[in-house]
Amino acid sequence: MTTKETAPDQNLDLLNANLAKVEELSRRLVDVMGHHKPLRTELNAPETGMFVNAAAAYWQAMTDNPGKVMESQMELWSKSVKHYVEAQHMLMQGKFAAPQDDTPSDRRFSHPMWQTNPYFNFIKQQYMLNKEAVEGAVSDLEGLSVKERQRVEYFSQQILDMMAPTNFLGTNPEALEKAIETDGQSLVDGLENLIADLEDNNGELLVKLADENAFEIGRNIATAPGKVVFRNRMYELLQFTPTTETVHEIPLLIFPPWINKYYILDLKEQNSMIRWLTDQGYTVFVVSWINPDQSYADVGMSDYIEDGFLSAIAETKEITGQKQVNAVGYCIAGTTLHLTLALMKLRGDKSVKSATFFTTLTDFNDQGEFTPFLQNDFIDGIDREIDEAGILRSFIMQRTFSFLRSNDLVYTPAIKSYMMGEAPPAFDLLYWNGDGSGLPGKMAHEYLRNLCQGNQFVNDGIELCGERLHISDVDVPICSVTCETDHIARWKDCYVGFQMTKSRSKTFIVSQSGHIAGIVNPPSKKKYGHYVNKDLTGTAEEFMEGATFQEGSWWPRWDTWLSSKSGKQVSARQPGDSTHNALEDAPGSYVQARATI
């Protein structure tokens, strides 16, 4: 008997052996899920009232205009039957080919078999027909408030995305093809990936987006040389080693968001904003926030302002011997920098010479894509979670952000990992994205209730630190950098709040790309351009209509703006001073702490 004759039997044996492994792994899966404590139901789905209102609106439409509703139904039925007949006709002609396919392009269906194989093409086309019908029905609903409509649209889209045939093994040709090619090994690897993710997260399903073994903080990311020169219960203050003989007199102090880690600004040498700023001759300080545990439950926004922002400003001034600093706030830290500047104005404190804001919201009147999650049912659930855990756990926020881009950040990675058995990529940005921090309970409650829901900072003012703070209190020179496709802090919403300050010197920049890539955009890449307009009196639409597009990164433009507010050149400063001995090398200890599930 030849080798070729025995090969099929060997392949079958291998396939059966892999399927036996699948059974064994399935028992592990059952075990880990048996110990899983489910997340409270309020954080998994909207209150039933939303679906009741949507159903009521649908039935009201059917009562008021039954012809229109029936017309929509008949259109779906007609297209479905026609689609079925066309597929049957091709088969009856003896052609193993798909019928004509006029459905819109969708990268989920990029594998050739979705177009060429009649079985998979039939499933794909029917899914697209159903999707079109559901979206049309939701679009035609009347009698809903703006927020109710946004929520119905969002959650109906989530259901449609979840039910895509690509998400199921039996209807995913690429996954089936690989299972056959690997004699089932891809299924074994995929199930191992699934169980590993569940075990790492106490039964919560968080798809691992990056290979965590490929990165080590301080070794191949967050490597800009510097020292920890101050530490308190809220943050470590990092001062980075100069790379020029002279530096600007006024130091630069950066406040990153405390939802994630500071090293988004220091991933690799090639895209490190911190390294680039030191190369431009700035004395760079960066705040590295604590990753809070339950003992921080009573820490609020006032604590972040007093023991975080004001403390770091004071320490930076003392170390450099300067009366002022230039400050930067990114995302939520930008919002809080605004609050701090308002407080400093009321106290007569002129320690900040200028302020730059990266992707920063101050006006939350339009909640954008977060509208589904910023209503009382979800926030009530978060409040109960906080009461129990003391913090808003990182994975809850990570899951929320991921489902705003579910196909890119949930389903596609899940397919590759769990159905295809692929290891996650060694991607520094995705590694950082998964290295989040929890939020202290009181701070999360105040931010969500008073800023996101109540919009107090731009309405009647928000009570913090014994004062009533308002956006109009901010009057230092400001520069706001926003991102064109940012879905977290939409540039148009950032622009509205930006206009409400009383600053006489204002610069507004719209970078191409999104919340991270639009900011971490070094000049060397020559990738994303930016828009500028000196006229800041009109609407956001008018700003963009009159804007000039500039090729390349916005960093050099900001450098020109910042250097004009940074004083004369002085001898380069080494980290620390006589009263601030280096506590340890950068990146420090706080950044190393991982969030708990």
Residue with tokens 């002085």: 570
Number of Cβ within a 10 Å radius of residue 102: 7
Query: Rounded to an integer, what distance in angstroms lies between the CA atom of residue 430 and that of residue 288?
Result: 19
Run of H or E including 569: strand 569-571
| Positive or negative torsion for Cα 9, 10, 11, 14 | positive
Give φ, ψ of 325 to 5 degrees: -130, 160
Query: Rounded to an integer, what distance in angstroms lies between the CA atom of residue 152 and that of residue 142?
Result: 12
**DSSP for 427-494?**
-HHHHHHT----EEHHHHHHIIIIIIIT-TTTTT-EEETTEEE-GGG--S-EEEEEETT-SSS-HHHH
**DSSP for 78-129?**
HHHHHHHHHHHHHHHTT--S-----PPP-GGG-STHHHH-HHHHHHHHHHHH
Instruction: Please answer whether residues 593 and 568 qualify as being in contact, where contact means their C-beta atoms are separated by less than 8 angstroms.
Output: no
Q: Rg (Cα) of the chain, in Å, rounded?
A: 27
483 is catalytic: no
Query: Rounded to an integer, what distance in angstroms lies between the CA atom of residue 586 and that of residue 409?
Result: 31
Strand partners of residue 580:
577
Query: Rounded to an integer, what distance in angstroms lies between the CA atom of residue 363 and that of residue 260?
Result: 22
Q: 331, 479, 483, 494: which one is catalytic? A: 331
Residue with tokens 């995913």: 172
Report CA 99 to chain centroid distance, whole Å: 40
Give φ, ψ of 469 to 5 degrees: -100, 140
Query: Rounded to an integer, what distance in angstroms lies between the CA atom of residue 508 and that of residue 542?
Result: 13
Hey, what's the torsion of the CAs at 453, 455, 459, 464, to 10 degrees? Answer: 110
- The residues annotated as belonging to the active site are 331
